Amino acid sequence: MTSKIKLRDMVEDRLKNEEETRNSDIKLTIAIWRKFYPNYVLDTSQGDKSGIFLDALFILPREDNIKRIRAKIQNEENKYLPTDPNVRKKRKISEEAWYDYLGYARRNPNQTELGGI
């Protein structure tokens, strides 16, 4: 299954369907591993604890490759932008693009009141 799906498609799928992956490359990497490489993820009897086989590190997509693709999708294509304003600032995504993406009215820096509210 995974050999036919490109890594870019995996990244876009998880960004689209799991909003929390938009704010964390580690969460994005784990989500990709869980969805597309389930045979290499070990779920333990301790509930939310899991792991991977060390040899799987040679097979699983690396976080740096996933991060590079995520950055291209978010920074160049303005798709699936982070939902956390601190992450947006850290990744240097423009406030204007972020507000547009989230469907908010742009903030007027000269506005001092909440007009109409």
64 within a domain of the structure (yes/no): yes
112 within a domain of the structure (yes/no): no
2 within a domain of the structure (yes/no): no
18 within a domain of the structure (yes/no): yes
User: How many helices and strands, by DSSP H and E, does the chain display?
Assistant: 5, 2
Per-residue buried b or exposed e for 6-36, using 16+ beta carbons within 10 Å of the residue's own CB: ebeebbbbbbeebeebbbebeebbbbbbebb
- pLDDT tens-place string over residues 10-47: 999 999 999 999 999 999 999 999 999 999 998 876 67
Alpha-carbon dihedral sign for residues 50, 37, 25, 20? negative
1 within a domain of the structure (yes/no): no
Residue 99 burial (CB count, 10 A): 15
- Please state the pTM of the whole predicted model: 0.74
107 within a domain of the structure (yes/no): no
Q: Give mean pLDDT, residues 96-116.
A: 62
| CA gap 80, 99 in Å, rounded | 12
33 within a domain of the structure (yes/no): yes
| CA gap 83, 101 in Å, rounded | 10
Q: In the structure, what pLDDT confidence band is assigned to residue 69 with cuts at 50, 70 and 90?
A: very high
User: Could you tell me which of 36, 53, 28, 33 has the C-alpha nearest to residue 2?
Assistant: 36
Number of structural domains (the chain) is 1
Average per-residue pLDDT in the chain?
83
* Domain span at 73: 7-102
